[in-house]
Amino acid sequence: MRTGGITTHSTGSPSGFPHEPTLPHRGSTSSGTPPTCFAAEDERADGRLGQELFRWRVLRAYRECCAVCHLRHSELLDAAHILPDRHPKGEPIVPNGLAMCKLHHAAFDSHFLGVRPDLSIELRRDILDETDGPMLRYGLQGFHGKLLHAPRTRGLRPSVDFLAERFELFRKAG
Ligand SMILES: [Zn+2]
C-alpha cells in the first residue's frame, strides 16, 4: 500500500541544479581558531559569494535573458532582487530574483518600472508622459503593459507575494 509520502532524491546541490559551480570554502584549512579580526571581512566575502551564487542561479533560471527586453548578453545582465537585500524577506533565492539587463535593473530599482503580481510591466506615470529620444521611447515606455518573461518551472518563477509587496513600493514611489 502506498503511503503517499514524498520521496526526495538528492541532486547533489541545494538548489536542485545539477551543475552548480563550486564556491570555495574558507576557514577549513587552518588549524586552531580563526583570528576574530577577520570576521567582518569573512562576512563580506560570504555575502559576495552568496550574491554570486544568486546571480548564477537567477541568470540560469531565466536562460541568460532579460525578463523585460530579452537581451541575451550575460555581461549586461544582473540578478535583480524583487524584495531588496535589506528587507527581512529579501533572501537571495530565485523566486526573489529577476534577470534584468543593466538598464531595466536600474529602472526597476529606481521605481521607473514596476511589475504587477500578474507579471505585467507598468511604467511610472511621469516617465510615461515624458518626451525624449529612442532609449526612453523604446527602451522604457515601449514595455508598458507588456508581460515579463519568467521561467515556466514553478519553483523558479517569481513569487507573487514578493511581487505584490514590491509593487506597493513602486506605487507609493509614483
Ligand atoms: Zn532589459
| Whether pTM exceeds 0.95 | no
Question: What pLDDT is stored for residue 174 in this prediction?
Answer: 78
Instruction: Output phi, psi for 133, to 5 deg.
Output: -75, -170
- Whether 108 has a pLDDT exceeding 90, the answer reads yes
- Whether 95 has a pLDDT exceeding 50, the answer reads yes
- Nearest of 72, 80, 132, 138 to residue 111 by alpha carbon: 80
C-alpha of residue 104 to centroid of ligand 1, in Å: 5
C-alpha of residue 14 to centroid of ligand 1, in Å: 29
C-alpha of residue 44 to centroid of ligand 1, in Å: 29
Question: What pLDDT is stored for residue 46 in this prediction?
Answer: 78
Question: In this structure, are strands 77-81 and 97-101 parallel, antiparallel, or unpaired?
Answer: antiparallel
Question: What pLDDT is stored for residue 6 in this prediction?
Answer: 43
Low-confidence winner among 44-58, 95-109, 135-149, 158-172 (lowest mean pLDDT): 44-58
- Whether 80 has a pLDDT exceeding 80, the answer reads yes
Average pLDDT over residues 138-152: 97
C-alpha of residue 39 to centroid of ligand 1, in Å: 37
- Whether 16 has a pLDDT exceeding 80, the answer reads no
C-alpha of residue 102 to centroid of ligand 1, in Å: 7
C-alpha of residue 21 to centroid of ligand 1, in Å: 25
